[in-house]
Amino acid sequence: MAYDTVGQREIRVDAVAKVTGKAKYTADFRERDLLVGKILRSPYAHAWVRHIDSERAQALPGVEAVLTYADVPHIKFSTAGHPYSLDPGHRDKEDRLILTDKARFVGDAVAAVVAADELIAEKALRLIEVEYEPLEVLTSPEAAMREDAPLIHEVKRNILSTFGYEFGDLDKAFADADRIFEGEYQTSVVQHCQMENQIATAYVDENGRIVITTSTQIPHIVRRIVAQALGIPWGKVRVLKPYIGGGFGNKQDVCVEPLAAVMTLAVGGRPVRLELSREECMIDTRTRHAIQYRIKTGVKRDGKITGIRIEAISNTGAYASHGHSIASSGGGKFRYLYQVDALKYEPVTVYTNLPVAGAMRGYGTPQIFYAFECHMEDIARGLGLDPIALHKLNFVETGFVDPIGKNKVLSCGIRECVDKGREMIKWDLKKKLYKNESGDKRRGLGMACFSYQSGTHPVNLEIAGARIVLNQDGSVQLQVGATEIGQGSDTVFGQMVAEVLGLPLDMVHVVSTQDTDLSPFDTGAYASRQTYITGMAVKKAAEEVKAKILDFVWGMTDTPAQALDLKGQKVIYKHSGEVLMPLAEVALQTYYDPVFARPITSDTSNNARVNAMSYGVTFAEVEVDLKTGQVGVLEIYNVHDSGRIINPQLAEGQVHGGVSMGIGYALSEQLLYDEKTGRVLNNNLLDYKLPTIMDTPEIGAAFVELDDPTGPFGVKSLGEPPAITPAPAIRNAVLDATGVAFNRLPMNPQRVFEKLRQAGIVG
């Protein structure tokens, strides 16, 4: 089907606002007499707070309030940005307090100050005396799971959950196999490093409600969690989300808002800003879970997989946050890539005294696909097969039904993705060329595949709202509860509305700010859900507006609605395209006709009880400097089956950013900590090695556009997937170049060199 606006490289609706500096982010709203909030953080990773003396801080002129555990509500809450569940058993682990009486990681918030300015606040923090009773610090899951380990929370052996899944007869599958492959793989702790740190401003309005402006992906969820943490009715909280400087999952968690709310209450409702520094943001927001995997796979001689067993130990740090959902969700999405008869997934999520791990782009899949796609390469090498052949032999087909969730794959373009990527990188040619690499610099090729979901159904509710108002001039406003966080969702929603209503994009005014008082309900930006899930609501709302317009024209002209259509801002005859009247003329009548005036709006919600699988592959070519251990990515391509692409330019942008993040994950990024004390060593952008423009190669992005029947205009997820497979593809390329398998991230120069030396590749 051909579309006018959908599929076009439309300029994003917020581009001009952002390029001129007019787009307002949380810190850009000026409040009169704004007070500054600051947090006192524990220097101990694990310690009881025995006593806090804040008298001297209180007495400092300019200090408005000092808060400790004793001064804030003692209601444990979960910070995870999931939809609420009516089933108490399905809710996230409630283990967090606004200020704690027990420090569980270095940086845990034990007290806070509200003061006239930053310098006074900092001075006040230095005047607070805290008496700690240090406990044993547990940084590794192994230490935390010891029988005699001290408990971080009141759960047995510090284990948050072991919920996994199993289907088929694994013993039989292994018995039927010609070969058994086993491998261990380990990912690292990394951080989102969105350019805007967490920040919230809170005040109490003239009606006694707490108003919070915050940099969040999930305004409606923030409202609920703040209310829960404070023990107040949900309606007493209003949350505004302006433009935000990136999130990547770090803002799918409620990190600063409850404390900001408590702070304003402590100063009589005056406005307080709680802004984390970069250094704070890197220890006390969220990180990506480090997960260790042990994988055992049975294969036939030809490469057909008979059965897989995956054991995973996920380090969630000091608080649950998204906790076991990460390991669980990664395992769930993994099921859709390979057709196997028996699969057992045994994840364990463990508390430790490290910064809190939570949601981050890919949500458990970068970890599991790193492990399994490394493993696939190892199998291919063990069997003497080309990895592409091994993959193709085992991929699922369209029509695959997940044995656990019973969800059916209605579109699957993984084979097409692989074929396209193979061409782009000239796989066959280069594989031959690099076959017998010698010398100090060696090149190699690698590939890795993934499957992903579009939203969270059936695990969570997938509800999304959209509201459209037809203006007098024939333009419309679109409001959604879903959030633009840089990914371009406002623009693709606008394109959807424009398509249905026959408008150019600039006649669709997308309201970018979410305000829980005004915006339709939507749970927010996560799970790559918005284009797919919110898109359904948007399309539904636009179709309703269209139907109302055509009905109205019927009333005006006696031409039945079914004979009419909207195109180019005009009402036309469907059969001939002949213009009946300009849309603006109808719009004006809907407002001002003395008899029939009834302005046209739609306010709709969609509960999407479906989930479409998206697929993709990364192909990478590397050069390894054996003598220094430096790995250079020469070429890298991501090919995605994300259904129909609404805006190719924005879609490519998602791929570029995700791949870049994946390259950092593969080669340079790691949040380092002292294993004894739990102290983070590199919580700043100088020491945490985010790639610069000079470290980033040209990134190739391509799409295999197969319409998914369930998606609006045939779309599927795209936001997170690009970040999933660069790391394993690069690892496999390094293996191809050197013959050495790196099973631990990141592959930084020292590690690579040391392992090459161990392997005897260099002296």
Q: From CA 555, how far away is CA 570, in angstroms rounded?
A: 16
Q: From CA 641, how far away is CA 337, in angstroms rounded?
A: 13
Residues 279-338 that bind other proteins (CB under 8 A): 279
Q: From CA 355, how far away is CA 103, in angstroms rounded?
A: 11
Residues 709-748 that bind other proteins (CB under 8 A): 748
| Contact stretch for other proteins (CB under 8 A) within 271-279, 317-325, 461-469, 513-521 | 271-279
Nearer to other proteins, 310 or 701 (CB): 701
Among residues 90, 521, 754, 759, which is the contact residue for other proteins, using CB under 8 A? 754
Q: From CA 591, how far away is CA 553, in angstroms rounded?
A: 13
Among residues 627, 709, 758, 759, which is the contact residue for other proteins, using CB under 8 A? 627
CA end-to-end distance (rounded Å), the chain = 61
Q: What burial letters (b/e) apply to 498-519, b meaning 16+ CB within 10 Å?
A: bbbbbbebebbbbebbbbbeeb
Site string for other proteins, 160-199 (x = CB under 8 A): --------------------------------xxxxxx--
Among residues 31, 53, 55, 117, which is the contact residue for other proteins, using CB under 8 A? 117
| Contact stretch for other proteins (CB under 8 A) within 231-239, 242-250, 260-268, 414-422 | 242-250
Question: What radius of gyration do the chain's Cα atoms show?
Answer: 27
Strands 342-351 and 305-317, bridge-based pairing: parallel
Q: How far is the CB of 241 from other proteins (least distance, A)?
A: 13
Strands 630-641 and 199-204, bridge-based pairing: unpaired
Does residue number 628 form part of the binding site for other proteins (CB under 8 A)? yes
Q: Is 228 left (phi over 0), alpha (psi -120 to 50) or beta?
A: alpha
Does residue number 11 form part of the binding site for other proteins (CB under 8 A)? yes
Does residue number 758 form part of the binding site for other proteins (CB under 8 A)? no
Q: How far is the CB of 719 from other proteins (least distance, A)?
A: 11
Nearer to other proteins, 277 or 339 (CB): 277
Question: Taking the alpha carbons of 49, 55, 57, 58 in that order, is the dihedral positive or negative?
Answer: positive
DSSP string of 692-758, one letter each residue: -GGG---EEEEE-----TTSGGGB---SSGGGTSHHHHHHHHHHHHHS----BS---HHHHHHHHHH
Among residues 2, 61, 148, 578, which is the contact residue for other proteins, using CB under 8 A? 61
Q: How far is the CB of 757 from other proteins (least distance, A)?
A: 8
Residues 87-116 that bind other proteins (CB under 8 A): 116
Q: Is 363 left (phi over 0), alpha (psi -120 to 50) or beta?
A: left
Q: From CA 348, how far away is CA 141, in angstroms rounded?
A: 9
Nearer to other proteins, 92 or 275 (CB): 275
Tokens standing for 46? 């694990």
Type of residue at 176: D
| Contact stretch for other proteins (CB under 8 A) within 57-65, 232-240, 256-264, 336-344 | 57-65
Question: Taking the alpha carbons of 508, 512, 514, 518 in that order, is the dihedral positive or negative?
Answer: negative
Nearer to other proteins, 271 or 488 (CB): 488
Q: How far is the CB of 56 from other proteins (least distance, A)?
A: 11
Q: How far is the CB of 750 from other proteins (least distance, A)?
A: 5
Q: From CA 455, how far away is CA 718, in angstroms rounded?
A: 11
Q: How far is the CB of 27 from other proteins (least distance, A)?
A: 7
Q: How far is the CB of 685 from other proteins (least distance, A)?
A: 4
Q: How far is the CB of 251 from other proteins (least distance, A)?
A: 11
Q: How far is the CB of 509 from other proteins (least distance, A)?
A: 18
Site string for other proteins, 670-709 (x = CB under 8 A): --x--------xx-xxxx-xxxxxxxx-xx----------
Among residues 13, 14, 82, 711, which is the contact residue for other proteins, using CB under 8 A? 14
Among residues 3, 8, 23, 167, which is the contact residue for other proteins, using CB under 8 A? 23
| Contact stretch for other proteins (CB under 8 A) within 22-30, 141-149, 530-538, 611-619 | 22-30
Give the H or E element holding residue 625: strand 614-625
Q: How far is the CB of 41 from other proteins (least distance, A)?
A: 13
Among residues 44, 243, 334, 742, which is the contact residue for other proteins, using CB under 8 A? 243
Q: From CA 437, how far away is CA 486, in angstroms rounded?
A: 42
Nearer to other proteins, 28 or 302 (CB): 28
Q: Which residue has the tokens 């970040």?
A: 723
Cβ neighbours of 762 (radius 10 Å): 15
Tokens standing for 54? 């804040």
Residues in CB range of 204: below 8 A, 6 or more apart:
210, 211, 264, 265, 268, 269
- Phi first, then psi, for residue 141 (nearest 5°) are -60, -35
Q: How far is the CB of 656 from other proteins (least distance, A)?
A: 3
Residues 634-663 that bind other proteins (CB under 8 A): 649-650, 652-653, 656-661
Nearer to other proteins, 24 or 304 (CB): 24
Asked if the bond preceding 458 is cis, omega within 30° of 0, the reply is yes
Q: How far is the CB of 98 from other proteins (least distance, A)?
A: 25
Residues 437-496 that bind other proteins (CB under 8 A): 485-488
DSSP string of 384-449, one letter each residue: T--HHHHHHHHB--TT-B-TTT--B-S---HHHHHHHHHHHHTHHHHHHHTTT--SSEEEEEEEEE
Nearer to other proteins, 549 or 699 (CB): 699
Does residue number 759 form part of the binding site for other proteins (CB under 8 A)? no
Q: From CA 128, how far away is CA 755, in angstroms rounded?
A: 48
Q: From CA 608, how far away is CA 537, in angstroms rounded?
A: 9
Does residue number 120 form part of the binding site for other proteins (CB under 8 A)? yes
How many residues sit in the footprint of other proteins (CB under 8 A)? 80
Nearer to other proteins, 528 or 590 (CB): 528
Question: What angle (nearest 5°) sits at the alpha carbon of residue 366, between those of residues 199 and 163?
Answer: 90
Do 325 and 80 contact (CB within 8 A), yes or no? yes
Q: How far is the CB of 338 from other proteins (least distance, A)?
A: 29
| Contact stretch for other proteins (CB under 8 A) within 200-208, 410-418, 577-585, 749-757 | 749-757
Q: How far is the CB of 209 from other proteins (least distance, A)?
A: 26
Residues 196-235 that bind other proteins (CB under 8 A): 196-197
How buried is 301 (Cβ within 10 angstroms: 0-12 exposed, 13-18 middle, 19+ buried)?
exposed
Nearer to other proteins, 92 or 652 (CB): 652
| Contact stretch for other proteins (CB under 8 A) within 237-245, 324-332, 414-422, 556-564 | 237-245
| Contact stretch for other proteins (CB under 8 A) within 118-126, 444-452, 458-466, 539-547 | 118-126
| Contact stretch for other proteins (CB under 8 A) within 20-28, 43-51, 221-229, 590-598 | 20-28
Among residues 8, 24, 426, 761, which is the contact residue for other proteins, using CB under 8 A? 24
Do 272 and 37 contact (CB within 8 A), yes or no? yes
Q: How far is the CB of 124 from other proteins (least distance, A)?
A: 11
